[in-house]
Amino acid sequence: MTGHGYAPEVALPRLLLGAAGSGALSLHEHEAVHGEMPAVSGGSRRGHAALIDEVELAGLRGRGGAGFPTAVKLRTVVGARGRPVVVVNAAEGEPGSLKDRTLLESAPHLVLDGAVAAAQAVGAHEVIVCVCERTPNVQRCVAQAIGERGSRTDGRVSWRTTEVPAHYVASQESALVSFLNGGEAKPTFTPLRPAERGVGGRPTLVSNAETYGHLALIARHGPEWFRTVGTQSEPGSVLITLSGPVQHPGVYEAEHGSPLSSLMDAAGGSTEDVRAVLIGGYAGAWVDARHLHALALCGEGLAPYGTRLGAGMVTLLPASACGLAETARVTRWMADESAGQCGPCVHGLDALATTLEQTLTGYAKSDHAARLAYLSSVVARRGACSHPDGAARLVASALEVFAGELADHARHGPCAACSRAGSLPVNRYGSARRGADGQSASAGTRPRGRAAVTAARAIGINSMSWRRSAPGAS
Ligand SMILES: Cc1cc2nc3c(=O)[nH]c(=O)nc-3n(C[C@H](O)[C@H](O)[C@H](O)COP(=O)(O)O)c2cc1C
Ligand code: SF4
């Protein structure tokens, strides 16, 4: 079924192969780099098990944050009633993440190939590409790529692109489906998942843009090739947005399981002392810098430190910054980004942010740490989506990693670095209810916040290759 004859010789990059950072690969250039996309045979929904089997053998997990096995989702869609729809989630709501944007601005056809393969595998005739309303260049690249393809490569698949509101929770999958169904871009409480009942009530495959890129490569080169990099439980490569005090912040394609120190070396090393690293984005967790050399970029390597790779954000905090003030700013932003539907999310995140802010001023009660720990525990798993869980994880990790700073602030008030807080980007496009200047703004009149993405200072397209020694090798 799939054409496994051609495989690039270099281990990495895979997704970013041929991408020079100077613009999107045209269809012609893309095919010169990756070869033509093999047809996923057949036309009936029953005939496409082969690609799904290969995705399962490859062990592909979604790159949108939760790491859900892609083959399981594909099978759920195939098993549900109705003609499926395929949705490419390229909205990238995380303020500091640039990986989906980078992928679509450099290799849009790889993502579209994967979406077509998925559509053919589940029997869908419609692919919807969801892009953030505030990323016009991504919209342009996607529109141009779709225009180039015509019907030449995509058989019966028709394309639609949609601009998603620039809110953090708008790119959660049920929020996307609600938006595509004409409603608000807010997570919904419907018991059936989008894979069973989504756009127009039809089974809907919502996957991350990077996931489709990997799927296109599996369709071309097969599961064994896919597994030649990465770990047993997390095969393949992953896009990482590395930001903070390193020589070359940017988007890197790394092998799952590579040491974080190799990624930092590939980025030219740190430019100042590092206090901590936030792994997995704002729904991730802080890890103390003393563990930097022990961290590996995969679930198993990160689990002992209470975090996971999520959507691939790795953010270094310079020692000159205040981790507590940064956490307070991000938590306030998370609270402001709540879709305002679930009590524990609305009140709990606000209480977490307020308590952190009070702690910074030194006016917190003596039991501030206990109160933060209590609030973190009660908001987790209490929302219609996992937004509060992410905020709770972030705060709980800050309590551990910045315990000394917490006690100091409670005793002495703000530190010198508090007023300089701003290492972590929050107002990428202006927050939902708070503008870039921190003033309240209604969703309709949101000011266009200046993109404050640290990694964008010197965004580069990079890859790093790191190989484990073969068992027994010295
Ligand atoms: C608050 C919130 C925001 C999310 N934002 C994104 C996003 O920007 N992009 C994305 O692909 N997935 C995002 N997700 C995850 C999606 O709900 C969904 O799991 C994902 O698109 C599935 O793709 P995957 O299986 O390829 O990982 C978000 C989830 C939550 C709870
Ligand atoms: S948990 Fe928060 S973000 Fe998620 S649906 Fe409820 S209110 Fe909205």
Ordered by where they begin, the domains of the chain are 27-226 (3.40.50.11540), 237-320+458-463 (3.10.20.600), 323-422 (1.20.1440.230)
Beta bridge partners of 274: 318
- Kindly identify the ligand whose nearest atom is closest to the C-alpha of 313: 1
Across the range 409-420, mean pLDDT stands at 88
Encode pLDDT of 155-176 as tens digits.
789 999 999 999 999 999 999 9
Closest ligand to residue 97's CA: 1
Residue 428 confidence class, pLDDT cut points 50, 70, 90: low
Residue 168, ligand 1, Cβ within 6 A: yes
If you compute the radius of gyration of the chain from its CA atoms, what whole number of angstroms results? 22
Tell whether ligand 1 has an atom less than 6 A from the beta carbon of residue 72: no
| 426 Cα to the center of ligand 1, angstroms | 18
Ligand nearest to the CA of 283: 1
Look at residue 437 and tell me whether its pLDDT is greater than 50: no
How far away, in angstroms, is 277 Cα from ligand 2 center? 27
Ligand 1 pocket mutation, candidates 75, 162, 171, criterion most atoms within 8 A of CB: 171
Residue whose CA is closest, atom 18 of ligand 1? 173
State whether the beta carbon of 206 lies less than 6 angstroms from ligand 1.
yes
Of 201-205, 248-252, 263-267, 339-343, the range with the highest mean pLDDT is: 201-205
Kindly give the distance from the C-alpha atom of residue 93 to the centroid of ligand 2, in angstroms, as a whole number.
Answer: 15
Rounded Cα distance between 226 and 204, Å, is 25
- Per-state percent for the chain, helix, strand, coil, to nearest 5: 45, 15, 40
341 lines ligand 2 (CB under 6 A): yes
Q: What residue owns the CA closest to ligand 2's atom 8?
A: 339
- The residues with which 397 forms a beta bridge, in sequence order, are none
Q: Any idea which of 134-148, 192-206, 281-295, 404-418 has the lowest mean pLDDT?
A: 404-418
Measure CA of the first residue to CA of the last residue in the chain; give whole Å: 40
424-438 average pLDDT score = 52
pLDDT tens-digit series, residues 341-355: 999 999 999 999 999
Predicted confidence (pLDDT) at residue 9 exceeds the cutoff of 80: no
Least confident interval from 224-238, 248-262, 405-419: 405-419
User: What CA–CA distances, in Å, run from 454 to 87, 267, 424?
Assistant: 29, 14, 7
pLDDT band, residue 446 (cuts 50/70/90)? very low
Question: What is the C-alpha separation between 265 and 147, in angstroms, rounded?
Answer: 40
| Cα separation, 346 vs 351, whole angstroms | 9
CA distances to 16, 286, 296, 434 from 111, in Å:
11, 31, 27, 33
